[in-house]
Amino acid sequence: MNLIPYFFMPPEEAGKTDFPDFIYQGAILGGLTIVGLIASGGRLFDAFTDPLIANWSDKTNSKFGKRKKLLAISVIPFALFAVLIFVPPSFDNTTLNAFWLVVTSVILFVSFTTYVVPYNALIGELGHHPKDRMLISTLVSVTWALGFAIGGSVYALQGYFEQSMSSVQAFQYAQAILCGIAFICMLFPILFLNEKKYCKQTTSSVNFLESLDIVLGNNNFRFFVIADLTYWISVTIIQTGMIYYVTILLGMDKSQASLFAAIAFPLSFLCYIPVNFLVAKFGKKPIVSIGFLLFALTFVVSMFLGKMPIPPMMQFYILIVMAAMPLAIFGIIPTAIIADIINQQAEEQGESQAGMFFAVRTFMLKMGGTIALLIFPSLLLLGRSAENDWGIRATGIVALVFCLLGFLLFQRYQEVGKTQVNDSN
């Protein structure tokens, strides 16, 4: 999803790009772009399906598995359309390619929801105690980071394949390989998870609107997800912008962009132990608040890449090191916060709406991506070349503003409970 702007609005180096103009590159509707509108519109359409799929999952009572049924339905289209979205049918018909991007992005995003919403609901159902939920959230964060690091290798793989084929084919081959690996990984919970044995589940008896009203009626949850929205806007901007920071601001080869994921996320693993320790000692809210501020400093650095009086590679490593701790914090704690809220609600009302809680969170995640993908291409219109890089630097400013807003909003959240070191089962 983060690669859509890269493929359809690639960085300019010496007036050239790796890919042809599959879609019209200019501004429309007073500063927006077709790529931004389609990418964000696909996510927006998908976001509104989240609660419907969540309610479907919460009400499912299948012998195959309450959550696994939807995982099995969505896994093939999810992996397939993550490749097809980058296989436009024409090299010169931009209207046909725009239609292709609309259709494939909608199917991709809906498949994403159908897999991710029930998958996330399992976190609270497998974790029967706060300590368990914190551990599961940590492990899920580790595997997410590994996946992101592997996915970030697309630029290096593209560079390797370019030795024997065009840039377009090289990118498509790289994406196909990575999505094949992803497909295999997504089969694991479908094939091996025993929900009936290990999950604490109830089948919801309320309809869609009642379930949504229960979730949105939780004031604490509302403050959390609104703050979470600003984080996803900021992080999507920096993830999408990494290839531009590396090639344009720092003047390095595009393959170096793969180093961000390859180094930042393994480095963040080293932060997982201290993050868990700090949460046990001080609670989740203070550590997440610190995470917002650390991320804000990272965006400040991104604004001045290429302007600091040190070698470009050193500037890049500074950005990576600064991002490691906040990535660890936001990779672990928010999921555990939601699981705590779900557990509290289930104890109070006797019925779990786990799928709907995570659906609303996923809705905010996608809204963050929608806003970021709408803003990012428009900012690039201000300049995306070495001669004029103002648009790329502006992405850091916008991300910084949203990150600070998230910090302020999160102060309204009231922590449900603390995970103590000596919690017993």
Q: Give the single-character DSSP code of 419.
A: -
pLDDT given at position 126: 79
Condensed to tens digits (0 to 9), the pLDDT of residues 122-140 reads 877 776 776 777 788 778 8
Q: What is the mean predicted confidence (pLDDT) over 402-408?
A: 93
> What are the boundaries of each domain within the chain?
4-199+206-410
The pLDDT confidence band at residue 204, using thresholds 50, 70 and 90, is low
**Cα separation, 191 vs 78, whole angstroms:** 17
What are the phi and psi torsion angles at 326 (to 5°)? -65, -35
Q: Among the ranges 38-47, 187-196, 353-362, which has the highest mean pLDDT value? A: 187-196
Q: Among the ranges 11-25, 43-57, 348-362, 403-417, which has the highest mean pLDDT value? A: 403-417
Condensed to tens digits (0 to 9), the pLDDT of residues 205-263 reads 666 677 778 787 778 888 888 999 999 999 888 888 888 888 888 888 877 777 776 77
Percent pLDDT > 70 in the chain is 90
Please, are residues 59 and 144 in contact by the beta-carbon 8 Å criterion?
no
The pLDDT confidence band at residue 423, using thresholds 50, 70 and 90, is very low
pLDDT given at position 84: 95
Q: What share of the chain is helix, strand, coil (3-state, %, to 5)?
A: 75, 0, 25
The pLDDT confidence band at residue 62, using thresholds 50, 70 and 90, is low
Q: What is the mean predicted confidence (pLDDT) over 384-403?
A: 88
Q: What is the mean predicted confidence (pLDDT) over 372-398?
A: 85
Checking if the pLDDT of 327 tops 70, the result is yes
The Cβ of residue 119 has, within 10 Å, a number of other Cβ atoms equal to: 21
* pTM of the full structure: 0.67
What are the phi and psi torsion angles at 27 (to 5°)? -85, 145
The pLDDT confidence band at residue 203, using thresholds 50, 70 and 90, is low
Q: What is the mean predicted confidence (pLDDT) over 279-297?
A: 91
Checking if the pLDDT of 376 tops 50, the result is yes
DSSP result, 264-320: HHHHHHHHHHHHHHHHHHH-HHHHHHHHHHHHHHHHHHHHTTTTSSS-HHHHHHHHH
Please, are residues 404 and 295 in contact by the beta-carbon 8 Å criterion?
no
Average pLDDT value over all residues in the chain: 82
Report the top-level CATH class of 4-199+206-410. mainly alpha
Looking at 101-105, 334-338, 348-352, which range is the least confident one? 348-352
